[in-house]
A and B are shown apart, each in its own frame.
Chain A
């Protein structure tokens, strides 16, 4: 069992702040993904859990025990690295067995666990090889095996799939998910790949510039982003932003920018009421277009198609509306062409509204 708690944790390297004031509780057996761009502090956070980095301020708890000064080899955590970090002078068998040997396990037990893990990861035939004789995917499996055999309380993964090709990455993603379900242990996974985060995580911690931006389930993070960074970091193609202002006309609350007029649905209008004229940024995800219904005034965007990008299952439209360039994903039922005028019905229930200055959500931020 392992519950991990960060209590106001800060990590600085000289004057550079890597992580600032981190408060986070990772529940036992939970799969938490730390998501963010390079340099956001996610790997530093993972290293602090492993004991590979010392804290500048704050405390880390494993269950109810403070582990700030506990060295890595005394923490019950296993880690998989982006570069695999296999020991090049040892065979695959010895690589997997190394952690057990260091913990002075009985040879019979070591052998049993290594062979079990190898069987599960389908690398039994590779046990005698050296890491240099393996492909990227095989090395990744060995790295997973090395962590698995320890049966640790906490399983840490630092971008373990980022060196694999796209197809292998998807299949390994599924295997990691299965591994979590079968091992029933706490997983902390670091990635900058939103797809990995969305598919794997019980909860996602979005980080930027050393600060936690939002913690929540994949749906919460995607549907109710608390700020513009979170909204734009998740979603591909990224969310469209249109600067404008709030306009109240009678009972109606609307977004207004030049010719664009979008009516907010009642639950949003309630939150935005009384702010007539406030500068804001409207967020529309590319897929939030309702097809097969005629565009209605106040719920549609009129614009000019710059170009169309067919992407197999869908088509992407790059269009200009209200003086800004927007990107939408639409189906293939209606074929669009370059340089045509279009009117797209927008799913107004899924609009996002942010304050222009603070960039925080006016809908979901308390």
Chain B
């Protein structure tokens, strides 16, 4: 009896070993995921952190080695220059008086940044609005209405997306020139629409197609015309994809450089990317000012993303049909 009492059950020790092993492997897996997440987060946030940090640094601090992630002598000079600068003429002579090593100078085109922000915002908003006005009905029609040439229309729209923008510049330029819209923000609105509408239609077609046809039928029998079916039933359900469209078109317009460079010549129509790029071709490059401009430039897209974040959810269609 004594012997038996002291004998360990081999089965239970196996179980224990297995449990310990699986616990360890679970911990290891969790640790691996955690490390990967931290690395990914660092990779994503480092440039933005540096952008924000350096915008509060002097030119001398920005180039210090090792770099200061937290400014030792934070300055808001760059932001003051953007928002409250005096409209004084910057010349080679006046610039010479500023020491480029210690910083503290402002690019000659700095005063153009606020008008450029306004231009970018107006262009992006118009592009978003027209994208929705054109894209939603087009996508609804292609997703839910059977008509002759429906498939060819979808393919045609999609093929326009495989043409690189650079190939479109010359034709666009000729059209814009003939319309007399050079150096006018409308030229940007028109060309950005040509670039973004196909993508908008593509996103929305996929989404509308995923919504059950019976909803369309039910709404029409319930008394909706095609248009009201779209506005009363499909639009509320398509909110997540509409948000995707808004973000995509806004950001595309906000960031676009090539077409803006071609069609705009004066600050009256130039957008943020063009003006920020112009800071590098000044007498001397001010990295801290460029980064401050960068911070200002990313604020509107961030606000838009935060505003719509709560709509970026799926699962609205749960319960629409049997289940």
Q: Which residues of chain A have a CB within 8 Å of any CB of chain B?
A: 47, 50-52, 71-73, 75, 77-79, 81-89, 98-99, 102-103, 130-134, 136, 139, 146, 150, 156, 163
Contacts of B237 in A (CB 8 A): 88-89
Check A89/B222 contact, CB under 8 A, given A52-B217, A79-B217. no
Of B122-130, B171-179, B294-302, B312-320, the stretch lying at the interface with chain A is: B312-320
Q: How far is the CA of A75 from the CA of B223 in the complex (A)?
A: 9
Contacts of B217 in A (CB 8 A): 47, 50, 52, 72, 79, 81, 85
What is the CB-to-nearest-CB distance from B285 to chain A, in angstroms, rounded to a whole number?
52
Q: How far is the CA of A71 from the CA of B220 in the complex (A)?
A: 8
Contacts of A132 in B (CB 8 A): 318-319
Q: Report which residue of B220, B221, B225, B232 has the largest number of chain A beta carbons within 10 angstroms of its beta carbon.
A: B221
B239: nearest chain-A partner, CB-CB: A89
Assess whether A84 is in contact with B322, with CB atoms less than 8 Å apart.
yes
Check A146/B319 contact, CB under 8 A, given A81-B214, A87-B215, A89-B237. no
Check A131/B320 contact, CB under 8 A, given A79-B217, A85-B217. yes
Check A77/B317 contact, CB under 8 A, given A83-B212, A89-B237, A163-B322. no
Assess whether A88 is in contact with B320, with CB atoms less than 8 Å apart.
yes
Contacts of A87 in B (CB 8 A): 215, 218-219, 233, 320
B220: nearest chain-A partner, CB-CB: A72
Contacts of B247 in A (CB 8 A): none
In the assembled complex, 5 residue pairs joining A and B whose CB atoms fall closer than 8 Å, in A order, are A83-B212, A83-B322, A85-B320, A87-B218, A87-B219
Check A146/B322 contact, CB under 8 A, given A85-B215, A88-B316. no
Q: A51-B220, A163-B322 are in contact. List 14 more A-B contacts (CB 8 A).
A: A52-B221, A71-B225, A72-B221, A73-B223, A79-B217, A83-B321, A84-B214, A85-B215, A85-B320, A85-B321, A88-B316, A102-B232, A131-B319, A146-B222
Q: How far is the CA of A50 from the CA of B232 in the complex (A)?
A: 20
Assess whether B214 is in contact with A89, with CB atoms less than 8 Å apart.
no
What is the CB-to-nearest-CB distance from A231 to chain B, in angstroms, rounded to a whole number?
32
Assess whether A85 is in contact with B223, with CB atoms less than 8 Å apart.
no
What is the CB-to-nearest-CB distance from B189 to chain A, in angstroms, rounded to a whole number?
32
Q: How far is the CA of A134 from the CA of B320 in the complex (A)?
A: 11
Q: How far is the CA of A185 from the CA of B322 in the complex (A)?
A: 27
Is residue B236 within 8 Å, beta carbon to beta carbon, of the partner chain? yes
Contacts of A52 in B (CB 8 A): 217, 220-221
What is the CB-to-nearest-CB distance from B287 to chain A, in angstroms, rounded to a whole number?
49
- Which 3 A/B pairs are nearest by Cβ-Cβ distance? A132-B319, A102-B223, A85-B214
Q: Report which residue of B220, B319, B323 has the largest number of chain A beta carbons within 10 angstroms of its beta carbon.
A: B319
B38-49 interface bits toward A, Cβ cutoff 8 Å, 1 = contact, 0 = none: 000000000000
What is the CB-to-nearest-CB distance from B18 to chain A, in angstroms, rounded to a whole number?
41
What is the CB-to-nearest-CB distance from A119 to chain B, in angstroms, rounded to a whole number?
21
Contacts of A84 in B (CB 8 A): 214, 321-322
Assess whether B321 is in contact with A103, with CB atoms less than 8 Å apart.
no
Assess whether B316 is in contact with A89, with CB atoms less than 8 Å apart.
yes
Assess whether A88 is in contact with B223, with CB atoms less than 8 Å apart.
no
Q: How far is the CA of A217 from the CA of B253 in the complex (A)?
A: 66
Assess whether A79 is in contact with B221, with CB atoms less than 8 Å apart.
yes
Contacts of B317 in A (CB 8 A): 88
Assess whether A73 is in contact with B224, with CB atoms less than 8 Å apart.
yes
Contacts of B223 in A (CB 8 A): 73, 99, 102-103
Is residue B228 within 8 Å, beta carbon to beta carbon, of the partner chain? yes
What is the CB-to-nearest-CB distance from A141 to chain B, in angstroms, rounded to a whole number?
14
Assess whether B236 is in contact with A89, with CB atoms less than 8 Å apart.
yes
Assess whether B322 is in contact with A73, with CB atoms less than 8 Å apart.
no
Contacts of B318 in A (CB 8 A): 88, 132
Assess whether A102 is in contact with B228, with CB atoms less than 8 Å apart.
yes
Q: How far is the CA of A71 from the CA of B222 in the complex (A)?
A: 11
Q: How far is the CA of A72 from the CA of B229 in the complex (A)?
A: 12
What is the CB-to-nearest-CB distance from B231 to chain A, in angstroms, rounded to a whole number?
11
Contacts of B232 in A (CB 8 A): 98, 102
Q: How far is the CA of A215 from the CA of B296 in the complex (A)?
A: 75
Q: How far is the CA of A81 from the CA of B219 in the complex (A)?
A: 12
Assess whether B224 is in contact with A85, with CB atoms less than 8 Å apart.
no
The B190-213 residues at the A interface (CB cut-off 8 A) are 212
A101: nearest chain-B partner, CB-CB: B223
A135: nearest chain-B partner, CB-CB: B323
Q: Report which residue of B217, B222, B233 has the largest number of chain A beta carbons within 10 angstroms of its beta carbon.
A: B222
What is the CB-to-nearest-CB distance from B132 to chain A, in angstroms, rounded to a whole number?
18
Q: How far is the CA of A130 from the CA of B223 in the complex (A)?
A: 21
What is the CB-to-nearest-CB distance from A108 to chain B, in angstroms, rounded to a whole number?
19
Contacts of B224 in A (CB 8 A): 73, 102
Contacts of B221 in A (CB 8 A): 50-52, 72-73, 75, 77-79, 99, 156
Q: How far is the CA of A103 from the CA of B224 in the complex (A)?
A: 9
A13: nearest chain-B partner, CB-CB: B146
Contacts of A98 in B (CB 8 A): 219, 222, 232
Contacts of A78 in B (CB 8 A): 221-222
B235-263 interface bits toward A, Cβ cutoff 8 Å, 1 = contact, 0 = none: 01100000000000000000000000000
Contacts of A156 in B (CB 8 A): 221
> Contacting B222 at CB < 8 Å: which of A83, A88, A102, A139?
A102
Assess whether A81 is in contact with B319, with CB atoms less than 8 Å apart.
no
> Contacting A73 at CB < 8 Å: which of B215, B225, B321?
B225
Assess whether B319 is in contact with A130, with CB atoms less than 8 Å apart.
yes
Q: How far is the CA of A133 from the CA of B220 in the complex (A)?
A: 25
The B14-46 residues at the A interface (CB cut-off 8 A) are none
A52: nearest chain-B partner, CB-CB: B217
Contacts of B222 in A (CB 8 A): 73, 78, 98-99, 102, 146, 150
